[in-house]
Every structure is written in structure tokens, then in C-alpha cells.
Amino acid sequence: MSLYKELKKAWAQPDKEAQKQRLIQWRTEPVTVRVERPTRLDRARSLGYKAKQGVFVVRQAVQRGGHERPHEMAGRRPKTQRKTLMLRKSYQLIAEERVAKKFPNCTVLNSYWVGKDGQTIWHEVILVDGNHPRIKSDKVLSWTAKDKSRVFRGKTSAGRKSRGMAKKGKGFEKARPGRRANNRRI
């Protein structure tokens, strides 16, 4: 079996003690941490990671649980009385957006899950510096120089999923071109 298949199988049933020690260490670190190499190499490679200059990985922590509304709205409509904020975003998309704000000169390529505990979930986000000479000369990644804010437009895999673009065909006629175009909550 190949190395990546072995890594995938190892992450399907991870060593609980090693994972526990990893999470204990991550809790003490800052929320956004640039890591030297991906924790899950098989997943990172399948999402477009390359071990070259201009491509790097950032681990982002996101708080789990309900999100509270910033303030009570005026009026007496039922949805203004609700204290919890109903998000249409996944934790993964929130992690990608926060990393994109920290590194504004880079493009978010994709992200993947690396761990969670009772109050935090961690994702590793693959970033590409489109202005790096190594990336400009790369035929596969050179497009990232022109597409900076793709994460905020829902163009990453997690963003497409939250927009209802994961499937197409019967039952998804009103998903495209977008939620607002069809006056629909997805």
C-alpha cells in the first residue's frame, strides 16, 4: 500500500493518546498558528498542497457551540426575539475566513479538519502566495495571483457546500445561480 493510503487509514482510526496530547498542546497555542508542515499530509496533498516556496499551512481554532446575536433588534417579529444566531456557515468556512483576514496577501486554496474537543474545533488551511516567483511560474497554481478573495465569495469547497452547490440536478434547481437570486434560504 502507498504512503498516503496508510496515512489515510491511520487518520480514520487515530491513536487516542497521541491525539489527546496534540489537543492539549494546541489549546495553549494562539488561535491562528502557521505550521511548518501539514498535520495530515495525505489530506493536504489531495486538496492541492505542494511542499514548495509560496505554499504554506495555517492551523485555525474556532469556538464550537451556539452563536449569540450581537444585540436585540427593534420590532416584535418572532425572529428578533431569538437570542441565538442561526448561522448558514460551517466551522470550516469560518476558519477559512479568519485565516484569510490574517493573511490578506495570500489566497485560501482549501482546508481540512484536524481535531476537536469540547469547546474548540481546529482546521488547517492551505494558503498560496500568488506573488511569489515560484508560484507565478507554476502552471497549476499561477491562477491564485488573480483570485484573492475567493473565500469571501464562497468559492472554496466549504463555501460551495454552504451555498448549496455541493450537488446539482433534480432537487437543486433553485440553488443556482445563488440563494439571493432565488429568494431562498438554504
pLDDT for 167: 86
When computed from its CA atoms, the radius of gyration of the chain, rounded to whole angstroms, is 19
Rounded to whole angstroms, the Cα distance separating 182 from 154 reads 17
State the Cα–Cα distance between residues 7 and 143, nearest whole angstrom: 30
pTM reported for the whole predicted model: 0.86
What is the share, in percent, of the chain residues with pLDDT greater than 70?
92
In which band, very low, low, confident or very high, does the pLDDT at 84 lie, cut at 50, 70 and 90? Answer: confident
Q: Which residue has the higher pLDDT, 175 or 78?
A: 175
Got the DSSP string for 87-125? --S-HHHHHHHHHHHH-TTSEEEEEEEEEE-SSEEEEEE
Q: How many domains does the chain have?
A: 1
pLDDT per residue as tens digits for the range 39-63: 999 999 999 999 999 999 999 999 9
* 165-174 tens-digit pLDDT: 888 888 888 8
Residue range(s) defining the domain that contains residue 167: 3-182
Residue 25: CATH number of its domain = 3.40.1120.10
Grid cell of 98 as nine digits:
479568519
